[in-house]
Structure 1
């Protein structure tokens, strides 16, 4: 009898380990759309400025509309993920994102373009947090950092598509049609989410991670007020957010805002050449997202990696902006910068491990709230500096990037105050 029970148990475990990849892959594919939209405006910057007759600051506002929406939705996204569940949340909001993409593509005026981008930001804002929630319910906790690394790989796939492939697509179809088609394709993947995604293995009659890892079952009895108080009163949450802000905003600025145009100005490159070099940073980030999570899980350390790579990110930015690097070495430098700046993924891991495991959505949302506030505001400040320095654009870029580098320095300082969790949940409720 015991043998039959054991065989049944092993079959159930294998089924969990098989089904989890179906669920995860669908949401990871949705996440590709999230980062594509996030980075896309930088590549079609010239098209947007010509279409709407705008300068650098107004262009930055187009990108920032996405981040304003994303910022507004981060804590609500965490609440929705923890209360409503990832499946329903992603399904509903992805439809809104698809509509926003179509509106942006068809926008007759700058104001309508702003509205379209804002709707896209609202719609896609829930995907990452829901993906993290899915990972916490379908995957073993010992692999948490590695799975965040895999999520980073999906993110970089979107960023990669928003570089040279987008240049070719915009040339072939026009930037407007490209975003309209993108909205239509998003609806297909929304349907996949609705049909195949499950919030927890128990919804398929399988044992959940709590049972498989031998801990008390986590009930979905989250009370919003108490949950917010718990996460937001935890200093570890805010430290993770402050570290994230400089690193993540740098990632956005390099890949999705001013990285390509800086290369064109500083090195006299064409749009394709600049986009190809930015792809080196994307590849570096893709490798980094996996390597950082893997190494951290193996050595069971978080803080030492966070501090070291944050410091190297600061050095990398200073070299990129203020040192004239031989053109042949630019790809290597950008690969390395992309690798180390992906260290922001570690802040999500730490935020989850210093908070109640039931509140993974809200914890991730609060950290993202800090980061996306920076992503909405800092590029606009940089754009205004560029507009004020039209007569000396290269000097303008150096002044503008100094703002970003200052925030990276703040992130480095904050990393020394992060909690070392030793790759386990260290939350203890204060009573």
Structure 2
């Protein structure tokens, strides 16, 4: 099989076919090695392999440049795998590659051969050897990466805890600070305003100063603010400390996702994201019945002082043990097999996202439907159960946990079903239509049924709200790969803005339509209407089929 290329010092280029170029050989000779590589980077999708070699030397893997490699004659594309550039560190291509991608010397590949075009057997064998070598090189990393991941997921649990804890201490807060229902709703929403405003800045912090320092600073702020929340005697300080708690925990999810991209292989990412959501919701469970019992035994102030001190200990652990990436502690960078993407200026990123109508539909959808679980469960579920069924706080806290447990289960079940059938849109629209029906039923008298029926309906709403996990996946799949993080940050911004607006509005409606006791019918109708608006938005989603479309 002849080679359409030539040896260039210690390097060889094998361009089989270059899209839009009728003579690959003339194209190569005319433009030269570096220009040919730049032509590939501009998206012309060349079929072939750009390899640098030395008969007795090892190869180096360039982490960013990968493209479909094909076999056959001109005009044919047989995409059998995604091949990466292999560069020898002393070859004439190395300096050019370093200029494009930075340090390439730590990307070791043991493949000691040149892959001829169309030789899929050799490529598969070489890739298998590369995988074995990678696993050997990273044998010291698996145990430590779980330390990093566990600490960061613990911070994510803290964020869920604070999101839900406010509903347990509603009565003590309203009594001690003379708050009305609308005042309490505004207090609860301060967390969501802060979380919403901090999303994009947190993403910038993680990318600029790293996960370790971002997590340590943020969690320290959350701990100090929690202690202040427990000690304050002023309503103004109460609002400020609640806002500061939201700022402190806003980076937790971004830190977990960033660390997973650095410490884990790409094929592990989706599974870990689901586990992260499941474990994070354990913080919500702890903020219900366990916190209710703690407050009943001790007091609200003692509870938040203890929580704040524990949060500061977690911040110290993050500073001591979390590392941004494996090479920070001398481990191989091959732990992460994901490819780095070129950075894009923030302004261009935001403009690109706002112009993507498929992403915008998901953002608006989250604005409407986020309040029905995170806002209601976080601030009003316990009040709803107490006011509607006349039960004690501790009992209401336990029963409110049913909705959160159902949500955790629904996240796993609906996420798995969506992956199994390769569909996204139907597994978002259909579940939230069910949730919409639940809120309408509760609003039009369903709340007056038995306690068992009310708790069951909340459980149904929680289970089908697990479609949030599918929504996050669809957001990733319709956004450009290099803008995934910013896209999710923008999605969270819309979602938490909706929660921040609807939470005090819910309290205002309960207050307005109350006579002798709190009446939640009008407020539940608000949730039903917002859910219906979200379902309308979901009809404009683009089906991804389980694949990245950008």
The TM-score with structure 1 as length reference comes to 0.90
> Paired residue for 2:391?
269
For structure 1, which segment, 414-423 or 52-61, has the greater mean C-alpha deviation from structure 2 after superposition? Answer: 414-423
Across the two proteins, how many residue pairs are aligned to each other? Answer: 422
| Counterpart-to-counterpart distance in 1, 2:266 and 2:362 | 19
Counting only pairs closer than 5 Å after superposition, residues 201-216 of structure 1 correspond to structure 2 as 201=326, 203=328, 204-208=330-334, 212=337
Counting only pairs closer than 5 Å after superposition, residues 25-424 of structure 1 correspond to structure 2 as 25-142=150-267, 144-201=269-326, 203=328, 204-208=330-334, 212=337, 217-219=339-341, 221-322=343-444, 323=446, 324-391=448-515, 393=517, 396-424=519-547
Matched residue SS, 1:391: coil
The structure richer in strand per residue is 2
Judge conservation of contact 2:412–2:466 (CA < 8 Å) in 1: no
RMSD of Structure 2 on Structure 1 (CA):
2.4
Gaps (5+ residues) in structure 2? 1-109, 112-127
| CA-CA distance at 1:7 after TM superposition | 4.5
| CA-CA distance at 1:49 after TM superposition | 0.3
Kindly name which structure, 1 or 2, has the bigger radius of gyration based on alpha carbons: 2
Matched residue SS, 1:258: helix
Higher relative contact order (CA 8 A, sep 6+): 1
| CA-CA distance at 1:103 after TM superposition | 0.9
| Counterpart-to-counterpart distance in 1, 2:508 and 2:456 | 30
| Counterpart-to-counterpart distance in 1, 2:289 and 2:541 | 37
Matched residue SS, 1:362: helix
In 2 relative to 1, CA 284–170 (structure 1 residues): closer, same or farther, beyond 3 Å?
A: same
| Counterpart-to-counterpart distance in 1, 2:271 and 2:142 | 16
Judge conservation of contact 2:218–2:248 (CA < 8 Å) in 1: yes
In 2 relative to 1, CA 233–206 (structure 1 residues): closer, same or farther, beyond 3 Å?
A: farther
| CA-CA distance at 1:369 after TM superposition | 0.6
Q: Deviations over 1:94-142 (max 9, x none)?
A: 1111111111111111001011111111111111122223334444555
| Counterpart-to-counterpart distance in 1, 2:367 and 2:142 | 34
The TM-score with structure 2 as length reference comes to 0.71
Q: Deviations over 1:324-380 (max 9, x none)?
A: 443334443322221111222322222222223333332111111111111111111
For structure 1, which segment, 235-244 or 316-325, has the greater mean C-alpha deviation from structure 2 after superposition? Answer: 316-325
| CA-CA distance at 1:256 after TM superposition | 1.5
The structure richer in helix per residue is 1
> Paired residue for 1:425?
548
Matched residue SS, 2:463: helix
Judge conservation of contact 2:206–2:255 (CA < 8 Å) in 1: yes
| Counterpart-to-counterpart distance in 2, 1:160 and 1:105 | 20
Matched residue SS, 1:42: coil
| Counterpart-to-counterpart distance in 1, 2:210 and 2:255 | 8
Judge conservation of contact 2:137–2:334 (CA < 8 Å) in 1: no
Judge conservation of contact 2:288–2:398 (CA < 8 Å) in 1: yes
| Counterpart-to-counterpart distance in 2, 1:68 and 1:44 | 20
In 2 relative to 1, CA 187–335 (structure 1 residues): closer, same or farther, beyond 3 Å?
A: same
In 2 relative to 1, CA 389–4 (structure 1 residues): closer, same or farther, beyond 3 Å?
A: closer
Q: Deviations over 1:402-429 (max 9, x none)?
A: 11211111111111222222233222xx
| Counterpart-to-counterpart distance in 2, 1:307 and 1:318 | 17
Q: Deviations over 1:64-105 (max 9, x none)?
A: 111111111122222223333332222211111111111111
In 2 relative to 1, CA 378–163 (structure 1 residues): closer, same or farther, beyond 3 Å?
A: same
